[in-house]
Structure 1
Amino acid sequence: MQLIIGNKRYSSWSLRPWLLMRHFDLPFDEIMVNLYQGDTRAERLAYSPTGKVPALIDDGALVWESLAILDYLAERFPQLPLWPAERIARAHARSIAAEMHAGFGALRQAMPTNFCARLPGRGHTDAALADVARVVELVSDCRTRFGGTGRFLFGEFGIADAMYAPVATRLVTYGVQLPPLVRDWVDALYALPAMNEWLQAAESEPLIRSAEPYADA
């Protein structure tokens, strides 16, 4: 498999499939396209019809859009607990993953992804904080109803957590105060070896002045 991603310092959508694949030790070759160097759209179009990242190439299949990639992986590796096994929990996980894919526009705009920055208090608009409140509600509900003794949304790390991982980093970047149950989920994500690998790689990438202090892809 080949996974095409953008800059690890800035590309929130790229993190989602990368984190899941690395966490579950799925073999893939990483192809990084620098989103801030020259005209890379033509290069991205060679991999994806939208000209955006991420994209996955696997045995003749081309899959783009983060959620589609994650769902493809669940079908490709049915032995792995990428979605919850129980029907109602799985339906709930699919719903919140789709909600993340389609929503939270105010949060994205006011608090864009920057994995290496610390900007406490920045972007705390009323609309963004309303989105944050929904994230807090959603995480608390999932952990209470489906999390059991685990620290993730449905107990163990899976697709739903991967979809919300970039939001967790936004909450850290912009210094959002969180209730203990949600803070513990964020801490659990940051404790994942795969997450640490991504963040260390992001730190090693050059800072792109045109992308600072906000950037997202």
Structure 2
Amino acid sequence: MYQLYIANKLYSSWSLRPWLLLKQLAIPFTEQLVPFGEGATQPHFLQFSPTGKVPCLHDAERTIWDSLAITEYLAERHTGVWPQDDDARAWARCAAAEMHSGFFALRQQCGMHCGVLIEMAQIDAALQRDLDRVAALWQEGLSRFGGPFLAGARFSAVDAFFAPVAIRVRAYQLPLPTPAAEYAQRLLNLPAMQQWLNEALAEPWLEPSHETEILAAGRLVQDLRQP
């Protein structure tokens, strides 16, 4: 059975992607959660990941790192990771790759946090460009392939790649046009996403650098975590 190594559900957007994909497609796996330590480097992650980063998938003696590589590895072994339709599959791969390698302002200014609601101090031009692109991309997929997911009627890897954006939209109350906002909420309502969020809120670990970075984005409106 696959072993998926992840970090704190409260913060780890990269971990969420393959975790959600495996859950939504009902692919059996065991979760190995290793919390972040303090600081930018995580030497204890080198015990299971050659890069010292998460996520990392173990399949017997084989190690697969990086969320996009894990997705393609799973796609070679399981149906439903990517859409069956050629056009939808090509679009979904492009959109997922764009998320994987882009949206730097969104990542840097709105770090993922499942446990707080923030009122942004400002939305600068770079962040607004990212939000505009997210909205355009989501609306293109929904209109072109009929929804309710980005590449058609069924959840696929492209939805998993944008799931952390849905959490950011909620956490930072980011403005999106109605179709995009409704799609973000649709992702948040998935049972697997609800499981991730609930388990994130119950985590006993806090990582100071993540907390400081996130609270620097604006005014704390509400802390959703359990005392």
Q: TM-score with structure 1 length normalisation?
A: 0.91
Question: 1-side partners of 2:54 and 2:200: how far apart?
Answer: 16
Question: 1-side partners of 2:39 and 2:173: how far apart?
Answer: 33
| 2:223 aligned residue | none
Q: TM-score with structure 2 length normalisation?
A: 0.87
The runs of 5 or more residues in structure 2 that have no matched partner are: 215-227
Deviations 1:187-211 (A, max 9, x none): 1111111000000000001333442
Question: 1-side partners of 2:132 and 2:29: how far apart?
Answer: 36
| 1:51 aligned residue | 52
What one-letter code is carried by the residue in structure 1 that aligns with 2:28? P
| 2:105 aligned residue | 106
| 1:137 aligned residue | 136
Question: 1-side partners of 2:9 and 2:44: how far apart?
Answer: 17
Contact 1:122-1:174 within 8 A present in 2 as well: no
Dislocated runs of 4+, deviation >4 Å:
37-40
| 2:126 aligned residue | 127
* Match runs of 1:147-162 below 5 Å: 148=146, 150-155=147-152, 156-162=154-160
Q: CA RMSD in A?
A: 1.7
Q: Quick one: structure 1 residues 145 and 204, their matched pair in 2 at CA, closer, same or farther if it must change by over 3 Å?
A: same
Q: Give the paired residue count.
A: 211
1:183 partnered with 2:181: yes
| 2:94 aligned residue | 95
| 2:224 aligned residue | none
Greater percentage in strand = 2
Taking every aligned residue pair, what percent have the same amino acid on both sides? 45
2:175 counterpart SS class? coil
Question: 1-side partners of 2:176 and 2:39: how far apart?
Answer: 39
Q: Quick one: structure 1 residues 143 and 123, their matched pair in 2 at CA, closer, same or farther if it must change by over 3 Å?
A: same
The runs of 5 or more residues in structure 1 that have no matched partner are: none
Deviating more after overlay: 13-22 vs 116-125: 116-125
